[in-house]
């Protein structure tokens, strides 16, 4: 699944189209019905920005196109006249390059999305104070491992980075926000930022607990546990020894 860092790489590549008036096509029928091409064709692309797991393309006239890649979407930047394979959702053709989106199940014109999303974990630097305010405004009985995936509180943290950053800071994903201090919250968010930033810069990383149920914790040797967490039942992994706290009832 594309995580926030994949989106930021796509945003970087698409910068070659910024400032140009683009020829816009939507070859895929499910994209064509959205009537995007008639509204965007010939407009100038003003910016491309990754916010969390969303790519926002701002066009002149105040139009913002939001692309979310879900499981299979991907962006590529090709030479302008390169052959485009398959049936892409979106083709953005500039003077020398063409940006192509395949499998983009979420593609919509949207003015409010940037306001609804929490601060971007990959911003340089991230706005930790704004994140803290959002975390403290949500019900404090929520587990931190659930809240940290909530894109309205902080955008861009996926399951891998949630699990690894909470392990790095010795915070159980099952602890209620009420029992997590501001300093601990900030440390967990900063860990996620550093881990994801390193990945964005191409530094290979090691997964210490993600998908390592039953393996020894690299820090203390205790077997790693796993249990689904949150409304979407994403699998949490944690070390019951160095991430102390009450485990979920059946784990």
- Residues making contact with Zn ion (CB under 5 A): 217, 219-220, 222, 239, 241-242
Q: What share of the chain is helix, strand, coil (3-state, %, to 5)?
A: 30, 25, 45
What distance in Å separates the CA atoms of residue 188 and residue 206, rounded to the nearest whole number? 17
User: Cα dihedral angle (108, 112, 115, 118), rounded to 10 degrees?
Assistant: -30
Can you read off the two tokens belonging to residue 121? Answer: 């974990």
| Smallest separation (angstroms) from Zn ion to the CB of 218 | 8
| Smallest separation (angstroms) from Zn ion to the CB of 86 | 45
**Nearer of residues 87 and 222 to Zn ion, judged by Cβ:** 222
**Nearer of residues 20 and 241 to Zn ion, judged by Cβ:** 241
Question: How many Cβ atoms sit within 10 Å of the Cβ of residue 36?
Answer: 20
| Smallest separation (angstroms) from Zn ion to the CB of 240 | 8
**Nearer of residues 82 and 220 to Zn ion, judged by Cβ:** 220
| Smallest separation (angstroms) from Zn ion to the CB of 217 | 3
- The dihedral of CA 210, 120, 43, 34: what is its sign? positive
**Nearer of residues 220 and 235 to Zn ion, judged by Cβ:** 220
């Amino acid at each position: 699944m594309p995580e926030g860092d994949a989106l930021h790489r796509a945003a970087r590549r698409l910068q070659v189209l910024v400032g140009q008036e683009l020829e816009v096509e939507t070859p895929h029928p499910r994209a064509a019905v959205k009537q995007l091409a008639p509204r965007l064709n010939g407009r100038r692309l003003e910016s491309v920005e990754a916010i969390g797991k969303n790519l926002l393309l701002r066009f002149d006239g105040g139009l913002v196109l939001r692309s979310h890649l879900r499981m299979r979407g991907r962006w590529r930047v090709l030479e302008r006249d390169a052959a485009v394979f398959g049936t892409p959702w979106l083709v953005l053709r500039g003077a020398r390059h063409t940006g192509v989106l395949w499998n983009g199940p979420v593609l919509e014109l949207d003015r409010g999305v940037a306001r609804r999303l929490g601060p971007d974990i990959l911003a340089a630097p991230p706005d930790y104070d704004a994140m803290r305010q959002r975390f403290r405004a949500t019900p404090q009985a929520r587990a931190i491992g659930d809240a940290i995936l909530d894109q309205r509180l902080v955008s861009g943290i996926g399951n891998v980075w949630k699990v690894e950053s909470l392990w790095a800071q010795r915070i159980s994903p099952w602890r209620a926000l009420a029992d997590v201090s501001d300093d601990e919250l900030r440390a967990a968010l900063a860990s996620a930022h550093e881990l994801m930033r390193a990945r964005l810069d191409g530094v290979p990383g090691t997964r210490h607990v993600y998908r390592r149920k039953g393996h020894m914790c690299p820090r203390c040797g205790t077997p790693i546990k796993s249990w689904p967490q949150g409304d979407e039942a994403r699998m949490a992994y944690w070390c019951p020894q160095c991430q102390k706290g009450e485990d979920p009832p059946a784990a």
